[in-house]
Amino acid sequence: MVIDATWERQDHDLGYTVFAQGDRFIEFYYSDQWFNIFRIHRGTDGSLKGWYCNITRPALLADATITYDDLYLDIWVDATYQTTLLDEDEFMAATLDEATRAQARVAVETILCWVAERRGPFANPPRD
């Protein structure tokens, strides 16, 4: 499922990027993957900021709702395809069974593969 949304909250500085009022988020949710991916464009000119990837259990898509369990790990992919793994400390501190931890690690590797191969949301993103 793909959702087109606009950041309407106050600017949020994450250190490696800022989610600014008016930024456009094109959100990709999967019922068969352990992640979701947000492609983020600047609200001012439509240029690509990057992708924010949440490691999660597969999304449950029903009617007009999307639910998922966040597993703490995140990946930031900037507009030049450089990746940064985030929140490893939160992931390590979380109470998760080993099977879930293993699936989360596979999800990280899958995203890194998609980035390297320019697959899915990472494939030649339009300015749309």
The secondary structure of 15-69 as a DSSP string is SS-EE-TT-EEEEEE-SSSSEEEEEEE-TTT--EEEEEEEEESPPEEETTEEE--
Residues linked to residue 93 through DSSP beta bridges, in sequence order = none
Q: Are 16 and 84 in contact (CB under 8 A)?
A: yes
For residue 100, is it left (φ>0), alpha (ψ between -120 and 50) or beta? alpha
pLDDT digits (tens, 9 = 90+) for 41-91: 988 898 999 999 999 999 998 888 899 999 999 999 999 999 999 999 899
User: Once rounded to an integer, what is the mean pLDDT over residues 104-110?
Assistant: 97
Give the chain's mean pLDDT.
92
Q: What are the distances in angstroms from CA 38 to CA 5, 7, 27, 31, 46?
A: 10, 12, 4, 15, 15
**Percent of the chain topping pLDDT 90:** 76
Examine the pLDDT at 108 and tell me if it is beyond 70.
yes
pLDDT band at 18 (very low <50, low <70, confident <90, very high): confident
| CA angle, 2 then 54 then 66, to 5° | 45
| pTM, full prediction | 0.91
CATH number of 2-122: 2.40.380.10
- The pLDDT of residue 125: 60
